[in-house]
Amino acid sequence: MNKQILLRKRPMGMPEQDTWELVETEIPQPKNGEVLVQTHYISLDPAMRGWLNEVKSYIEPVAIDDVMRAGTIGKVIKSNNHPTLKEGDVLSGWGGVQQYFCTNGEGQFKVDTNLAPMTKYIGALGMPGMTAYFGILEVGKIKEGETVLMSGAAGAVGSVAGQIAKIKGCKVVGIAGGPEKCKYVIEHLGFDDCIDYKNESVYKRLKETCPKGIDVYFDNVGGEILDIALARLRRHARVVICGAISQYNSNQIQGPKNYLSLLVNRASMTGMVVFDYAKRYKEAGMQMGMWMMEGKLKTEEDVYEGIENFYETFTRLFTGEKRGKLVLKVV
């Protein structure tokens, strides 16, 4: 049987367990020109919360009673006359929260697990890594010697984006929750400093760690921390709006109050959606793969097991009970 997680209702605030339902259906059979994929790992990302809302953002919302959308990686176990895909091929793409699915290959990418394990292709070599790469280099436009502030520094995107900034010769200060995560950000990832927003005054520590201000702020959290960062911008600073996890479960979004800092400092604030760079994913993957081989880029996956544990694992995105890329193992 094929276990699937279906969306049953649109949540208000933090989703509850009955937002979804675990169902069992027959394993689908591929039509002519399709393949059957067995999912091995499912990517859990903060963006999934936005896909539950009825209002369309940069992508259509998940429809009620549909399989929950998610990035996946799995192996082709049956091919029905597909011209290029065969049994044994490993595909990364949008398979959803389910154990098996059929595809004609659209939205799927064949990957080589001899070069990297499966989990890397939904982490640093997948959507989070692509987001970090293009967000910090193309939107942030970092330059050697600049000061970069990274919120969500221990997360899947922030950890990679901050390391790329270090590789490019920037001073990088992270923001993370708790002393253990801050220690990880400094000692393992190589950031210059890290602010513990749960136990320290972000405003005070930001003045200490970035006394001359911030050239680039890569925002993954929104809310109060965004406001504090705006107050510390330097002339011609760039703010990258990548995510706002502090606001995703709020019924009333807290917008920035210090936006006039953009005017005073001739700064810019730009939204970043990774799909805009789809044609360049291969370029980014090759570069980050090289940095990983050279030991310059360190990545980590936090893996939990069992599709039955989808909800419990999903909530870790918002409780902070994870480090690096959050992954659900299905096989």
The CATH code for residues 127-275 is: 3.40.50.720
pLDDT at res. 250: 84
CATH 3.90.180.10 for the 2-123+300-329 domain, yes or no: yes
The domain ranges of the chain are: 2-123+300-329, 127-275
Q: DSSP class of residue 272?
A: -
Query: 127-275: same fold as 2-123+300-329?
Result: no
Q: Residue 176 contacts by C-beta under 8 Å, 6 or more apart in sequence?
A: 152, 153, 154, 182, 184, 185, 194, 195, 196, 197
pLDDT at res. 106: 94
Q: What are the tens digits of pLDDT across the range 266-301? A: 999 999 999 999 999 999 999 999 999 999 999 999
Q: What are the tens digits of pLDDT across the range 107-133? A: 899 999 999 999 999 999 999 999 999
Q: In this model, does residue 56 exceed pLDDT 80?
A: no
Phi, psi angle pair for 99, to nearest 5°: -85, -30
Q: Whole-structure pTM over 0.85, yes or no? A: yes
Q: What are the tens digits of pLDDT across the range 198-227? A: 999 999 999 999 999 999 999 999 999 999
